[in-house]
Amino acid sequence: MKKVLLLVGILSIGLYANYQVEAKEENEQVTVLKDIEENDGEASGEIKQEDSVSKQRGLARAAATRTIDIKRFYIEVTDGAANSDSVPITNSKFTVSYVHNNRSNVLYEGMTNEKGEILNLPTKEIPFEVKSLNIRFTLGNDERGYVQRFNKNPYRFTFTIGFNMDATANTINFGNRNVKFGNTADPESPFYNFQAIRMNHYFDQAVQEYSNAVKMANDLLPETVPFTLEPINFFFEKGQYLEGKNRFYSKGHDSSGTSTIVLGDKSNKKFTTNYLKRNVMHEWTHWNMGRTIGLTKGGYNGHYGYNSNPQTSFKEGWALFVDEVFGKNYNLDRYDLLVQNDNSNGVNRLYGKSTNLTVQHVLYDLLDTGSKDEEFNVSERYQDEELSDLEIRRLNLGIMHTLMVESKATTLQEYLNYVESKYVLTKADKAKFAKVLEANGLSREGAFTLDNEGNALSTPLQANEKTSLDVNVIDEVADYYFED
């Protein structure tokens, strides 16, 4: 294998050290990194450069081993494009190893933290003739799952760092925010590897944000159900499931019986931050709904499309609701009146109708802290400390999750009835809650009131049990807004 090395000299606090740095996609050939930033070194300010080097060389002549002390190792990855924002490899497995006598030896293994850092590993000794360490990252972990290729192997990347060849003691305090992983066989590999690393980062953010919101609810209301995390794998690869076919498969994209999520490639290669965050959270939310309340039902014709089965509207509306508050930091106020003001050739497609977007915006009215059409929020009566607006919205999301799991509701009407029975108890609160229903065209019982043509329904829509919970459901997110 032909290796291309990037040599960087660092002068830090009077101690001179040569770093060889190499990044590669595991098991594939190497491409050159972007220029390495200066990194902090561990040394005494009083030691002169010349004295430091000569003393190290004197000690080295008789040394059989060298010590490795990793204080901090941190990288962020990019594809090298001018408009790309680098991301770290967060909460993911790593190993640190070295090669000696043609054998790989593992020094450390663990998981990066929520910032993507490897911190304060115990000091180890290695043979003195070893000149570099290999730090291998695997995208994901056993608790939440992995980002994988379609051969079911997780993405893995190796970063090789060399150290001062003359030093018997090597302290590593390393940071680089401009790393590019790739291979010479495929010039597009840095781009696709970067997208996989971004998906891993947003996957981790989604898990942390959602679980922390539920924890806020549990802390305030100790009898509410806690969040439980179960792993699922995301599949992504160049050329696979083109044109953004992002889907949750309850029985696996390969019909293996194991649930999977697929994020499709896009021929225009436009993977905006908002697009990736939304789609990662959306599909992961379907996984959570399926495993907690058994709702993995059916297809639909767009988010404005009418669903005769109200379970479909609830399934998709909930996932849209969660993905949008995650992607837009809990603020959809710009679209607060979408249901009331929709107009397609003189027809309102949403008000009072069983659609994904109608459900999404009813749920948002339970979460927001005041809007143009209603004044209700689900935690208002129960807050026992001063919270910011963002904290209240996050708390509300957590409470709404506990209500979904506890109620086992599979339609919006069932969910709203449970919310009211548990948290809407005073006359004043019931009036505010009724306004949420009215503003979105629902009956006082929380039912949809209009059919697809805008005619009044004589009876509420009923769940269609013919749509089996066991079917291999596919799901897609449409870019109806928020593409930027």
Instruction: State the DSSP string of 58-93.
Output: HHHTT-SEEEEEEEEEEEEE--S-TTPPPEE--S-E
pLDDT digits (tens, 9 = 90+) for 224-260: 999 999 999 999 999 999 987 899 999 999 999 999 9
Residue extents of the structural domains in the chain: 6-191, 230-439
pLDDT digits (tens, 9 = 90+) for 59-107: 555 579 999 999 999 999 999 999 999 999 999 999 999 999 999 999 9
Other CB atoms closer than 10 Å to residue 445's CB: what's the count? 11
pLDDT one digit per residue (tens) for the chain, 484 residues: 433 333 332 222 222 233 334 454 444 323 333 333 322 111 111 222 333 343 455 555 557 999 999 999 999 999 999 999 999 999 999 999 999 999 999 999 999 999 999 999 999 999 999 999 999 999 999 999 999 999 999 999 999 999 887 889 999 999 999 999 988 889 999 999 999 999 999 999 999 999 999 999 999 999 999 999 999 999 999 999 998 789 999 999 999 999 999 999 999 999 999 999 999 999 999 999 999 999 986 788 899 999 999 999 999 999 999 999 999 999 998 899 999 999 999 999 999 999 999 999 999 999 999 788 889 999 999 998 899 999 999 999 999 999 999 999 999 999 999 999 999 999 999 999 999 999 999 999 999 999 999 999 999 998 875 443 333 344 444 444 434 3
For residue 299, give the DSSP letter: -
Instruction: Note the pLDDT of residue 166.
Output: 84
CA atoms of 214 and 172, how far apart (whole Å): 38
Instruction: Note the pLDDT of residue 35.
Output: 30
Is-contact 17 40, C-beta < 8 A?
A: no
The candidate with the shortest Cα–Cα distance to 397, out of 334, 328, 448, 350, is 328
Element containing residue 99 per DSSP (H, E): strand 93-100
Between the alpha carbon of residue 112 and those of residues 39, 94, 96, 190, the distances in Å are 19, 7, 12, 22
Is-contact 51 14, C-beta < 8 A?
A: no
Is-contact 314 321, C-beta < 8 A?
A: no
Is-contact 184 80, C-beta < 8 A?
A: no
**Burial, 332: exposed, middle or buried (Cβ in 10 Å; 0-12, 13-18, 19+)?**
buried
For residue 239, give the DSSP letter: T
E strands, 209-313, where? Answer: 233-235, 247-249, 260-262
